[in-house]
Amino acid sequence: MASSVLLFALAGVMLPLALADAAGDVHRRALVLDTHFDSAVNLARPGWDVMQRHTWELDFSQVDYPRLIEGGVDGGFWAIYVGQGARTPEGFATARDKAIGIGVQIREMVARNHDHFEIALRSADAARIAATGKQFVFISMENAYPIGRDLTLVKTFYNMGVRLLGPVHFSNNDMADSATDVNGPEHGGLSELGRQLVKECNRLGIVLDGSHASDQVLRDLLKLSETPVILSHSGCKAVYSHPRNIDDDLMRELAAKGGVIQINAFSAYVAPVGTDPERNRALGAWVASFGGRSGINTPERLAAYLAGRADLERRYPLARASFDQYMAHVLHALKVVGPDHVGFSGDYDGGGGVDGLMDVTGLPKITERLLAAGYTESDIDKFWSGNALRVLKAAEDHAAGLLKNHQPL
């Protein structure tokens, strides 16, 4: 039987084998970028090595060098993330120091493995670094809480390498309202400090990230920012109505300003998978038995924690969205705003992952499905990195123009 009529099974969809082979070639040629890795969390694990192949089943990690290569991934934005805490001088100082420490961990990982990773600071660096066979590492900041009320720290983090910044995370802060704060909006969008943050990011060439922000904050970002806005890991409200997702009208506003939505593979935002309070209590108690996550501070204690965590996963299996449900978000966004304004994020190591896409090794499946849906190689190149890098270049060019006009960085 000719290969053109052999069939290849993919998550319930039957693809001609020739198409599956073509998808592999397209994926290998593409510059593949994920805009939100939370993988810096693993760099603090005692004995954890990014150069070793890990598995979700054994240590619940989703990104490492061998798996990046297996998934045809060329690089991504590694996030500096500090959860929202007390909005006090002491709280801000603690968050600032923790954020700087995470940034140092990312840069030290790159320095230790300089034959395989390189820091990227400009949009053009991605293709240049990938051409050498190395992984490019952009740095982002998820939640501006570590900046506190001191906007001079934006330049500090820019100097560290931050090129993408989200003003807010799960709860409201001094900059902006969150999409998910249980108390509802506090500022009615961006605060005055948040508006000044937008100006400073524009001045420096940092892309503003509206993921986790309320709809009104995103509207404010689109109105105030002089460069396009990105949603580094978000979804479509028309597919699943969750506060973390955006509706079609707002997606069109984002696209009209040159922005991009990177579709998020976080199950709870992809589909109504529900929650398990008993699982949450058991997991919380297990972490507490170590004195919190800071108590998991030796390879032996990490091994004990992971063994217990694996047992909890067997006893309380977590419901996850399917790959088909994830692709429904991708295909809907492409239908609404077209291939110039859609990209990818797995939200890996930050809670992301759907069945069939639990780590970076699964990314070629998306290329296969996009080809099957009729999208061209040019469209797929935009999806994997072209759109996000275009937004970054726009921010760079704007900052360069200000510098040319004698506004020092």
pLDDT tens for 93-149 read: 999 999 999 999 999 999 999 999 999 999 999 999 999 999 999 999 999 999 999
307-340: burial string, b at 16+ Cβ within 10 Å, e else: ebeeeeeeeeeeebbbbbbbbbbbbbbbebbebe
* CATH of segment(s) 31-273+320-404: 3.20.20.140
d(CA 296, CA 165): 29
Whole-number Cα distances in Å, 84 to 45, 116, 124, 143: 21, 33, 33, 8
Q: Decide if 217 contacts 189 (C-beta within 8 A).
A: yes
Q: Which of 10-14, 56-60, 361-365 has the lowest mean pLDDT?
A: 10-14
pLDDT band at 367 (very low <50, low <70, confident <90, very high): very high
pLDDT band at 150 (very low <50, low <70, confident <90, very high): very high
pLDDT tens readout for residues 67-92: 999 999 999 999 999 999 999 999 99
pLDDT at 1 over 60: no
3-state secondary structure of 139: strand
Mean predicted confidence (pLDDT) in 291-315: 93
Mean predicted confidence (pLDDT) in 264-290: 94
Q: What is the dihedral of CA 112, 360, 99, 89, to 10 degrees?
A: -170
How many CB atoms are closer than 10 A to CB 218? 26
Percent above pLDDT 90 for the chain: 91
pLDDT at 10 over 80: no
pLDDT tens readout for residues 203-259: 999 999 999 999 999 999 999 999 999 999 999 999 999 999 999 999 999 999 999
How many CB atoms are closer than 10 A to CB 403? 14
Nearest partner of 307 among 88, 60, 112, 49, judged by Cα: 60
Q: Which residues contact 131 (CB under 8 A, 6 or more apart)?
A: none
d(CA 51, CA 189): 42
d(CA 249, CA 23): 32
State the pLDDT at residue 19: 64
State the pLDDT at residue 406: 72
Nearest partner of 288 among 276, 300, 280, 278, judged by Cα: 280
pLDDT band at 407 (very low <50, low <70, confident <90, very high): low
Nearest partner of 149 among 97, 229, 209, 93, judged by Cα: 93
d(CA 26, CA 43): 32
State the pLDDT at residue 17: 57
CA angle (399 as vertex; 409, 150 as ends), nearest 5: 50
State the pLDDT at residue 9: 41
Average pLDDT, the chain: 94
Domain boundaries, the chain: 31-273+320-404, 275-318
How many CB atoms are closer than 10 A to CB 343? 27
DSSP per-residue letters across 64-100: -HHHHHHTT--EEEEEEE------SHHHHHHHHHHHH
